[in-house]
Structure 1
C-alpha cells in the first residue's frame, strides 16, 4: 500500500483482530453535520456489515477537501468537528474510522490509485456512498468507477438522498437555516440539536453587573455561527474528558452587544445559565441551541435592556420546560 497520511480511530472499542481477513464494510464521505442523509449512508454500511459478517467502518477526511483546494470560504467553518463526528459514528454502530489528512498532494491521487492503493489494501469488501459521491483527482471517480477499479471484489451500494419538506437534506441547506436563525428546522435535518462547544473565558463582567451573569464562550473549533440574536438553549458543563457533568437551561446572546460596544467589534457568544451560581472560567461547555427568540438590538437605556433580558429568560424557561414535558 502506498503511504498516505491516515489515522485509524477506534471509535467503538478496538478494531477487531483480523479485520482485513474478515473484510470491511466502508462508508465514505466528509459527512459535515452527520445529518439525516449522512446517517442513512452510515446505517446502510453498518447493516451491510452485519449481513456479510464484515467490520463496519467509515472513511472521512480532515480538513474539508475544498478548504485545501481553495474552493469557497464557507468550508472554513464546520457543522460538526472531527471529534464529534467520531462519537456520532460510534452511536450509529461504526467500529473504526479511517481519517485521511487531506493535503494538496493527496488531491492529485487519481480515482484508480485511490481504489487500488488505498481502499483495496485495507481489506474493503463493500462500500456505501451517497448519491452524489465523487472521489479522486478533480472528482473524476464515482460509484461506477469505484466498482470498476475494485475489479469485482468490492461491492458498491449507493444511497438515495433523504428529503424533508420536499427538499434534499444537505449540509448547505443546514448552514443556510442556521444563518437565518431557523434553529428548529436545522435541528430537524440534523436529527439532533445543533451544538457549539467551547471554553469559558473572562469577559468584562457586564452581565453580572446587570444581575444576569454570563459565561463568555470561546468556540474550540471554527463552527458555523448562527444568526445574531438571542436563543433558548441547554448548556452542558463538561468534564475534562468531554463527558457531561451537569445540564442547565439558559439563554444565549450571539452578537456584537450594540448597547455597549461600538460597531466593528468582535462577535461574542454569551450564555446565561438559569439556577446556577458558581465559577465556570476555564470550563468546557456544550451549548445546544433550541429556539431563536429575537434579533439582537440596541437599547436606549440599561433599564430597557434588563427588562428585555428578564422577558427573554421567562420565555426561554417556558419554551424549554414545555419541550422537556412533551
Structure 2
C-alpha cells in the first residue's frame, strides 16, 4: 500500500503534492480519523473499496495525525489512541486499501476552510468518490459536512454517507470502546472493534522478580501511546513478532498479563507496567517486539500480604486464563 504524508505548508500553501500522490485513474476515498478502525470505520472503508472496484478507481483512505481535538485543546484523553498510525495502515491494507494519505494535523491546518480543503487537497489528488461517516465534519471549526464536500467538488465528486453501525446494544464508536477498556471489559470492546484489542511493545529489562517467583514475565514497554485497559489481570494471547530484516514469522502463545503498579512490591503511585507471562515459552525476549492480544478480564490488581499468597494467586490466574482462552478460542 502506498503511503503519502501530507503537511499543510507544502500542500495547502504551496499547492504541491508528493510525487505519485495524484492518481490519474481517480480515487475512491474514505475520510476519517478512524481511531480503533472499529466496525463502523470498517463499513466506511469497505464501501469505498467496493465503489472503487465498481468504478475502476483506486481505493484509498485519508486519515489524520495527531487527533484534531488534541491540537485544538478539546480532548486531553485523545493523547492516547486505540490504533496508532502504523497500526491503522496495516488494518487499512487488510481491508483492500491501496493508498493512504496521512494528514499532519496542526494549528495551521486547523485554520483551513472546508472549501480550501476540497479545492486544494481533495480534488487535486483525483478524488471521484468520497465515503464518510454519518457524523463527518471537516474544515475550520467543523464548518464542512458531506453536503459541502460534494458542493465544493463542483460536480466531480460523488459523496456517500454511511449510516451508524450498531452492536452490543448501542452505536459503535471509539468513545464506547475506550469506556469498555477503562472498565476492564476487553471482550465487550472486541465486539465493537470486530477483533481483539491489541497493544504492541518492546520487551525491556525489569527487576526479574517474576522469574524468582517461578513465573518469568516479559516487561512490555508500549511503542506508541496506546489506551491502556483498567489495571488488573487479563487472559491474553501474545504474538512474538519477527525480528526486523529476517524471514521469521510471528509465533503466538497464550498467557496472562498484569496491568498495574505491583502494589505488593511498590509504594502507591508507582509506574504503570505491563507484565506478561507466556505459557510454555522458554527463551530470551529482551529487545523483541511483541503484541498483547486482550481477551478477558480475570481480576483487579491488589496487594498481597505475603509472597506465598501472591504466588498462589498467580498460579490460579494462569489456570483461569488457560480455561478462558480454551473456552473462547475453540
What TM-score, normalized by structure 2, do the two folds share? 0.93
Q: How far 1:323 moved relative to its partner?
A: 2.6
**Does the 8 A contact of 2:11 with 2:120 survive in 1?**
no
CA RMSD in angstroms, aligned pairs only: 1.9
**Match of residue 230 from structure 2:** 227
1:173-252 paired onto structure 2 within 5 Å: 173-241=176-244, 244-252=249-257
Q: Provide the residue aligned with 1:282 in structure 2.
A: 287
Alignment of 1:21-32 (within 5 A): 21-32=24-35
Cα distance in 2 between the residues matched to 1:287 and 1:316: 14
Task: State whether residues 168 and 191 of structure 2, in contact with CA within 8 Å, keep that contact through their aligned partners in structure 1.
Answer: no
Q: How does 1:66-85 map onto structure 2 within 5 Å?
A: 66-85=69-88
The equivalent residue for 1:4 is 11
How far is 1:322 from its partner? 2.6
- How far apart are 1:18 and its partner, in Å? 10
What is the number of residues matched between the two proteins?
Answer: 318
Q: What displacement does 1:246 show?
A: 1.1
| CA shift for structure 1 position 241 | 3.7
Match of 1:12 in 2: none
Seen in structure 2, the aligned counterparts of structure 1 residues 29 and 314 have a Cα distance that, compared at 3 Å, is: same
Partner of 2:4: none
Q: 1:241 to 1:85 in 2, by over 3 A?
A: farther
Shift of 1:240: 2.9
* Separation of aligned partners in 1, 2:291 and 2:250: 11
Please state how far the C-alpha of 1:7 moved relative to its aligned partner. Answer: 8.5
Do the aligned residues in 2 keep the contact of 1:195 with 1:289 (CA within 8 Å)? Answer: yes
Q: Give the structure 2 partner of residue 323 of structure 1.
A: 328
SS of corresponding position for 1:217:
strand
Distance 1:7 1:262 in 2: 53
Deviation of 1:167 after TM superposition, in Å, equals 1.1
Equivalent residue in structure 2 for 1:137, among 135, 140, 144: 140
SS of 1:3 mapped into structure 2: helix
Q: Structure 1 residues 7, 228: CA separation in 2 closer, same or farther (over 3 Å shift)?
A: farther
TM-score (norm: length of structure 1):
0.94
Query: Is the CA contact 1:2–1:117 (under 8 Å) kept in the aligned structure 2?
Result: no
Match of 2:268 among 249, 254, 263: 263
Structure 1 residue corresponding to 2:104, chosen from 83, 101, 120 = 101
Matches of 1:185 and 1:273, distance apart in 2: 24
Q: Partner of 1:323: helix, strand, or coil?
A: helix
Distance in 2 between the 1:244 and 1:233 partners?
19
Measured after TM superposition, the shift of residue 69 of structure 1 is 1.2
Question: 1:3 Cα shift?
Answer: 2.6
2:63 pairs with 60, 63, 73, which one?
Answer: 60
